[in-house]
Structure 1
Amino acid sequence: MTATLRDYRRARRRSRQAWAVLAAGLLAALVLPVWFFTVGQFLLAEPRGTGPSAAPVLARGWMQPVAAVRAVPGGNAADALEALPVRDPAGIGNYDRSAFGQAWLDVDRNGCDTRNDILRRDLPGASFAAGSRCRIGAGTFQEPYTGRTITFRRGSGSSKDVQIDHVVALGDAWRTGAQQLTAVQRQHLANDPLNLIAVDGQANQDKGASDAAAWLPPNRNFRCHYVARQISVKAAYGLWVTPAEKDAMQRVLGSCPNQHTVLPR
């Protein structure tokens, strides 16, 4: 074999290697953005949580379920999501919190307002304020949205550290069908234990009226339950999901295909 032929073959080999590297780079450039905007952004956004992966709905003996528009469907949360209508959001310009009734009513008629019911349910060993059988004075719990251990103490400057979050925010409910509910049905939605969780105050502020497409709990361990609970609430009150919201929910449930809906029991 002449030196010229050897040089030619060596050059051909190097050329093929260079093209292979270039092709791999182009493939990565195409695949990585798709991965990021489907799964990657949720995997990279926050560290994996160490907090709880679920939250209670009712406490036996002193909490009663609230009458929703329809029963929460049992079974797989992804199937329940597929059954929800998908529509663009309605306008929110005429939204007013008062459309959902006075805050923290005693809808289940157990003698205590909803906020204190949820604090009592979610804070193990919570103690009542002096002279009260309803008002929670203090308690410690592992907060689900951040996974941190938080202590609640009633007071003008400290009560805000633990807030009661509407899992389906009332603003989101308003733009996805709650405008069509009756005043009583909206009151029930705002006070239904299925739709309420005691959480870190700052996390609740960060969420605002966002749906799953715009905000998810930093504690990734809780996201499957959180999304399943949103689906359960929307099914119970005849609300719809937006296309972006459904996509976000499907991505979360893709990591937990056996996640069930959350039933009010």
Structure 2
Amino acid sequence: MKTTCSPAQVLTAVTALMLAASLVGCDVTAHAFEAVQSAPGIPGRETVDPEAAGDAARALVQLETIPVKGRAPKTGYTRDEFGPAWADVDHNGCDTRNDILARDLIDKTFKAGSNNCVVASGTLADKYTGRTITFVRGQDTSSKVQIDHVVPLSDAWQKGAQQLSDERRMELANDPMNLMAVDGPTNAAKGDSDAATWLPPNKAFRCEYVARQTSVEAKYRLWVTQAEHDAIVGILEICN
């Protein structure tokens, strides 16, 4: 008689399958994750959210496609290597910073005459801290909410971005997947750290955070250090 596995058990099994497949040179397809997303829960017990479990499993598989190397020198890095800050890369008439503010804030107002581009105020449910932050544009207030590169540009430069074309680096700097509106002081504390040296104080967001980092690094063919790789695995394996 077969017993039904919990989502957490399925996620563990999928991870083991991924590791075993990598040893024999096999590709793990999306079919491996169907069980994670459809596995039933156990009555009376908190279960793994299927979407979150699937993201963690996919991130673990994706992580195995990313090379593990040492950090390259920071020589030659400047912010200008990634193009002008907050360019209008999608040609919608609004710069990237305002695009992300408009995406991540609620109850937004816009500066008059800006064609609904320049966000004047709003409310942020900050994922890094779990706090609610009121944003008001102004010389002394705008910095309360900053736009963070989930994979910092300086870190990316030392892990393969210096080998990308100018156009590709600009895409990386303005990619919505790599950008989040977050608490300003927390973003400043993060600096250019990777997952081995900094994680969001809000532990509930750490799974999504490292999964997003993994997706960005895979998309732009960056690499990770061994310490970063191990830190990401340690987070993803306990996502629940």
TM-score normalized by the length of structure 1: 0.68
Q: 2:103 aligns with which of 101, 117, 121?
A: 121
1:1-265 matched pairs, under 5 angstroms: 76-132=58-114, 133-256=116-239
User: Residue type of the partner of 1:224?
Assistant: C
Deviation at 1:75, TM superposition (A): 6.4
Deviation at 1:123, TM superposition (A): 0.2
Deviation at 1:125, TM superposition (A): 2.3
Q: Secondary structure at the match of 2:84?
A: coil
**Per-residue Cα deviation, 1:83-106 (whole angstroms, up to 9, x for no partner):** 110000100032111000000001
Q: CA RMSD in A?
A: 1.7
User: Residue type of the partner of 2:197?
Assistant: A
Report percent identity of matched pairs.
58
User: Residue type of the partner of 1:181?
Assistant: L
Rounded Cα–Cα distance in structure 2 between residues aligned with 1:130 and 1:200:
25
**Per-residue Cα deviation, 1:190-247 (whole angstroms, up to 9, x for no partner):** 0000100000000100000000001000000000000000000001101000000001
Deviation at 1:74, TM superposition (A): 11
Rounded Cα–Cα distance in structure 2 between residues aligned with 1:126 and 1:192:
22
Distance 1:179 1:84, change over 3 A: same
User: Residue type of the partner of 1:185?
Assistant: R
Rounded Cα–Cα distance in structure 2 between residues aligned with 1:107 and 1:154:
23
**Per-residue Cα deviation, 1:163-206 (whole angstroms, up to 9, x for no partner):** 00000000110000000000000000000001000000001000
Deviation at 1:130, TM superposition (A): 2.0
User: Residue type of the partner of 1:129?
Assistant: K
Structure 1 or 2, whichever has the larger Rg, is: 1
Aligned residues: 186
Highest relative contact order (Cα 8 Å, sep 6+), 1 or 2?
Answer: 1
For structure 1, the 5+ residue unaligned runs are 1-52, 54-72, 258-265
Native 8 Å contact 2:66 2:224 kept in 1: yes
Q: Secondary structure at the match of 1:126?
A: strand
TM-score normalized by the length of structure 2: 0.75
For structure 2, the 5+ residue unaligned runs are 1-48, 50-54
Native 8 Å contact 2:147 2:181 kept in 1: yes
Native 8 Å contact 2:77 2:157 kept in 1: yes
| Moved >6 Å (runs of 4+) | none
Q: Secondary structure at the match of 2:127?
A: coil
Rounded Cα–Cα distance in structure 2 between residues aligned with 1:131 and 1:220:
40
Rounded Cα–Cα distance in structure 2 between residues aligned with 1:144 and 1:184:
30
